[in-house]
Amino acid sequence: MVRSDVRAKIEQLRNEINEHNYRYYILDQPSVTDAEFDRLFRELETLEKAHPELIVPESPTQRVGATPIEGFETVTHLTPMLSLENAFSIDELQHFDNKIKQLLGKDKDILYSCEPKFDGLAVSIIYENGVFVRGATRGDGTTGEDISANLRTIPTISLVLQGKFPSTLEVRGEVVMPKASFLALNEAAIKHNEKPFANPRNAAAGSLRQLDPRITAKRKLEFYAYSGQVIKGKALPLTHHESLQQLKTWGIRISPDNKVVQGIKAVQKYYEQLLANRDKLPFEMDGMVVKVNDISLQEKLGYVSRAPRWALAYKFPAEEVVTHLEEVDFQVGRTGTLTPVARLKPVAVGGVVVSNATLHNMDEIARKDIRIGDYVVVRRAGDVIPEVVRPVLEKRGQVKHIKLPLKCPVCGSEVVRIEGEAAARCEGGLICQAQQIESIKHFVSRKGMDIEGLGSKLVEQLVNEQLIKTVADIYHLSKETLSNLERMGDKSATNILQAIDKSKKTTFAKFIYALGIREVGESTAQLLSTHFSLEQLMSASEEQLLALPDIGPVVAGHIVHFFAQKNNLKVIEALLKSGVHWPKEIKKTTHLPLSGKTYVITGTLSRSRDEIKQDLQALGAKVTDSVSAKTDGLIVGVDAGSKLVKAQKLGITLIDETQLNKLLTSK
Ligand code: JCF
């Protein structure tokens, strides 16, 4: 064949294969036999093999073309990927509808688009001139990770579009793992002595975070789009439903069972039908998503912090089962908290087998009157750890009371319960191996110093053999020490040392998080890192900390307490001396529209005070409980009491709900 003929033949085969894929995966109407499809595919493969210079990344043969990569690049989303407000009851659904009608000044039924809410991982995919060019995780909504190579392996993600597509299109959707594939994957994991995934969502997430796309390709993932945005080209239709149908004509798999209904009662009906069919669907659903169908109305409604006002995730109730409570053990956490853990007769709930569940703390046990030997109701809600809800008293036989141990089950130190706190705590501090182990695991975790290869098992081994006591000791580990460990080769030891060395270059936020200060999670660490240098943070007073949005007295107290401990200061000093460092930026206090303002909320408003508080804080304001001369405004609802009187006395600005809404949308 002459070269131009080869080119044309390849082109024709690709078109034919793409068309068959479209019919099979998107329309669910296959038009050829598997054998015929395979023949075309092999013909294309053979031609491409003979003419490798004609291979393009979007060729149907190239889904698993890529070789392993070092790590994922960070990408910034074109527009933030939003989260959804949740509703758990018909009342909350009704409230959503009322609010929408109120904001739009309508009393006629709203047209709502309904769809199942899959429990998967949200991703963004970009098509340029009809070709898949980039796929990324949602990440924190603003930035995600480029997982293009992994997304390409998913057969239900089209690599090329059909028909008259726009020149740049972003598609957002959910990557899910079918329940059956999830169960098979876990069975295989258990057989190979590996840790099974907790649920299909974690399994999907784990599969997409593989550095080797060949592994992802084996994981049987599927994709459903839930929205699209034309970046360049003719805009999408003016309703959500039609937009989805349009995406489908371009070869994009859309969320199934998408339906437009009139009024909130019909939404409730859709929900009930979906719930009744929950177990029949091949994917795990955690509820439904309801959206205002008309895009122009969506635009009028806008957003509150990170979620649209025009959409709602209406969640299914958690699944519950009854099983036997065989024993209760106490686990010691990173900060010494003793958590009672129920050892259960294994039982399947929500698609996974559960044999442990949390009992939270002694107060909860007393309140629910749970005893060893009881039959208990166990609940699993989404990704939340299963919990014991209540005993089944009608089935109670021989039972024993659950007793808090007097001594720590790990180090034998005294166990104390602090007045006014539910938790019981081991007094051993870092003498306690459990606390050493857990705090080191936290330190090396991905969100912390991110030391790859230094997993839970290895941390336990190192602490138990007394090779490390504190996180600072990690940076003094030698190759000899590591390679002398059981089951540790020379190569692994070298890799771990390299990862340890690499972790020295970090960010201040990750460093703060890694320290493991009580109740300082990723977002608080981030916040602290933008307002303080390390020196400033170490000497910050409770007042200085309280001045930041989102930091309350409890967290402020934990932070001050942490840096008052000589041992902690020693560890920090040692870490810095070992070379742990981060780029030093000049601290500029990020200027938000309401930075420096303090508000107090009183009376009944159409939303909960917590919601309003969060919105104000998101804009940089501080919200306190009592009115003083420093208060910039009192937000006044119905039936306001003494706070209103005091504010009037002090001459403080009063803000009603309409003014509040203006304040919240001001930029
Ligand atoms: O299926 C989902 N998990 C899902 C997530 C469906 C949607 O329609 C979504 C979503 C997240 C954000 N829509 C938005 C706006």
Question: Any idea what the CATH number is for the domain that residue 651 is in?
Answer: 3.40.50.10190
Question: Any idea what the CATH number is for the domain that residue 39 is in?
Answer: 1.10.287.610
Contact 200, 120 (CB under 8 A): yes
Question: Any idea what the CATH number is for the domain that residue 324 is in?
Answer: 2.40.50.140
Whether the pLDDT of residue 667 is over 60: the answer is no
Q: How far is the CA of 85 from the centre of ligand 1 (A)?
A: 10
Provide the domain count of the chain: 5
Q: Which residue has the higher pLDDT, 549 or 272?
A: 272
Percent of the chain with pLDDT over 70: 97
Q: Please tell me the distance from the alpha carbon of residue 633 to that of residue 598, in angstroms, as a whole number.
A: 7
Domain finish residue from 266, 297, 315: 315
Provide the pLDDT for residue 666: 64
Q: What is the mean pLDDT of residues 462-481?
A: 94
CB atoms within 10 A of CB 617: 19
> Domain for residue 76, yes or no?
no
Q: Are residues 424 and 504 located together in one domain of the fold?
A: yes
Q: Please tell me the distance from the alpha carbon of residue 655 to that of residue 635, in angstroms, as a whole number.
A: 5
Domain finish residue from 255, 289, 315: 315
Domain finish residue from 560, 587, 614: 587
Give the residue, by CA position, lying nearest to ligand 1 atom 4.
Answer: 117
Q: Are residues 526 and 651 located together in one domain of the fold?
A: no
User: What is the residue-averaged pLDDT of the chain?
Assistant: 90
CB atoms within 10 A of CB 524: 20
CB atoms within 10 A of CB 311: 23
Q: Are residues 600 and 651 located together in one domain of the fold?
A: yes
Whether the pLDDT of residue 438 is over 70: the answer is yes
Mutate to test the pocket of ligand 1, among 83, 172, 174 (most ligand atoms within 8 A of CB): 174
> Domain for residue 221, yes or no?
yes
Q: What is the mean pLDDT of residues 396-401?
A: 96
Contact 278, 119 (CB under 8 A): no
Stretch among 20-34, 405-419, 598-612, 614-628 having the lowest mean pLDDT: 614-628
Q: Tell me the one-letter amino acid at 252.
A: I
Q: Is 375 exposed, middle or buried (0-12, 13-18, 19+ CB in 10 A)?
A: middle
> Domain for residue 214, yes or no?
yes
Pocket of ligand 1 (CB under 6 A): 82, 84, 115, 117-118, 122, 174, 226-227, 289, 308, 311
Structure tokens at 560: 């001050």
Give the residue, by CA position, lying nearest to ligand 1 atom 15.
Answer: 82
Active-site option among 117, 291, 613, 643: 117
Minimum-distance ligand 1 atom for the alpha carbon of 286: 3
The pLDDT tens digits of the residues spanning 309-348 come to 999 999 998 888 999 999 999 999 998 999 999 999 998 8
Provide the pLDDT for residue 265: 97
Whether the pLDDT of residue 500 is over 50: the answer is yes
Q: Please tell me the distance from the alpha carbon of residue 451 to that of residue 539, in angstroms, as a whole number.
A: 28
Structure tokens at 261: 């209904």
Q: Are residues 438 and 535 located together in one domain of the fold?
A: yes
Structure tokens at 362: 């002694």
Query: Alpha-carbon torsion 368, 372, 376, 381, what sign?
Result: positive
What totals of helices (H) and strands (E) does the chain contain, helices first? 24, 24
- Cα radius of gyration (the chain): 28
Q: Which residue has the higher pLDDT, 221 or 182?
A: 221
Residue listed under structure tokens 């025009």: 310
Structural domain including 41 reads: 4-62
Q: Please tell me the distance from the alpha carbon of residue 176 to that of residue 665, in angstroms, as a whole number.
A: 35
Q: Are residues 29 and 127 located together in one domain of the fold?
A: no
> Domain for residue 98, yes or no?
yes
Q: Please tell me the distance from the alpha carbon of residue 632 to that of residue 629, in angstroms, as a whole number.
A: 8
Structure tokens at 67: 């070789």
Percent of the chain with pLDDT over 90: 63
Q: Are residues 332 and 457 located together in one domain of the fold?
A: no
Active-site residue 117, yes or no?
yes
- Give the residue from 595, 597, 618, 633 showing the smallest Cα distance to 304: 618
Structure tokens at 230: 């034309």
Question: Any idea what the CATH number is for the domain that residue 440 is in?
Answer: 1.10.150.20
Whether the pLDDT of residue 191 is over 80: the answer is no
Contact 622, 598 (CB under 8 A): yes
Q: Please tell me the distance from the alpha carbon of residue 208 to that of residue 314, in angstroms, as a whole number.
A: 26
Residue listed under structure tokens 């706190």: 421
Q: Please tell me the distance from the alpha carbon of residue 572 to that of residue 582, in angstroms, as a whole number.
A: 14
Q: Please tell me the distance from the alpha carbon of residue 293 to that of residue 259, in angstroms, as a whole number.
A: 10
Q: Are residues 565 and 469 located together in one domain of the fold?
A: yes
Q: How far is the CA of 82 from the centre of ligand 1 (A)?
A: 8
Structure tokens at 24: 């099979």
Q: Are residues 567 and 614 located together in one domain of the fold?
A: no
Q: Are residues 651 and 562 located together in one domain of the fold?
A: no
Q: Please tell me the distance from the alpha carbon of residue 271 to that of residue 279, in angstroms, as a whole number.
A: 14
> Domain for residue 70, yes or no?
no
Provide the pLDDT for residue 588: 47
Minimum-distance ligand 1 atom for the alpha carbon of 117: 1
Give the residue, by CA position, lying nearest to ligand 1 atom 8.
Answer: 226
Q: What is the mean pLDDT of residues 428-438?
A: 90
Minimum-distance ligand 1 atom for the alpha carbon of 224: 1
Provide the pLDDT for residue 66: 64
Q: How far is the CA of 63 from the centre of ligand 1 (A)?
A: 26
> Domain for residue 74, yes or no?
no
Contact 41, 60 (CB under 8 A): yes
- The residues that bridge with 308 in the sheet, in sequence order, are 303
Provide the pLDDT for residue 486: 84
Question: Any idea what the CATH number is for the domain that residue 151 is in?
Answer: 3.30.470.30
Contact 90, 258 (CB under 8 A): no
333: three-class secondary structure by DSSP = coil
Residue listed under structure tokens 């304001």: 621
Q: Please tell me the distance from the alpha carbon of residue 540 to that of residue 132, in angstroms, as a whole number.
A: 49
DSSP H/E element including 307? strand 307-308
How open is the CA angle 42-43-44, to the nearest 5 degrees?
90
> Domain for residue 337, yes or no?
yes
The pLDDT tens digits of the residues spanning 211-226 come to 889 989 999 999 999 9
Provide the pLDDT for residue 663: 85
Q: Are residues 379 and 508 located together in one domain of the fold?
A: no
Q: How far is the CA of 141 from the centre of ligand 1 (A)?
A: 13
Mutate to test the pocket of ligand 1, among 79, 83, 84, 123 (most ligand atoms within 8 A of CB): 84
Per-residue CA distances from 504 to 380, 441, 521 (Å): 39, 16, 20
Q: How far is the CA of 360 from the centre of ligand 1 (A)?
A: 31
> Domain for residue 622, yes or no?
yes
The pLDDT tens digits of the residues spanning 582-623 come to 988 655 445 677 877 899 999 888 888 888 888 887 777 888
CB-hemisphere CA count at 13 Å for 634?
A: 27
Q: Are residues 130 and 261 located together in one domain of the fold?
A: yes
Strands of 505-593 (E only): list them.
none
pTM score, whole prediction = 0.61
The pLDDT tens digits of the residues spanning 266-315 come to 999 999 999 999 878 888 888 999 999 999 999 999 988 778 999 999 99
CB atoms within 10 A of CB 574: 16
- The residues that bridge with 169 in the sheet, in sequence order, are 127, 230
Stretch among 41-45, 137-141, 547-551 having the lowest mean pLDDT: 547-551
Q: Please tell me the distance from the alpha carbon of residue 376 to that of residue 534, in angstroms, as a whole number.
A: 48
Strands of 42-106 (E only): list them.
74-76, 86-87
Q: Are residues 615 and 569 located together in one domain of the fold?
A: no
Residue listed under structure tokens 């690709």: 14
Q: How far is the CA of 131 from the centre of ligand 1 (A)?
A: 24
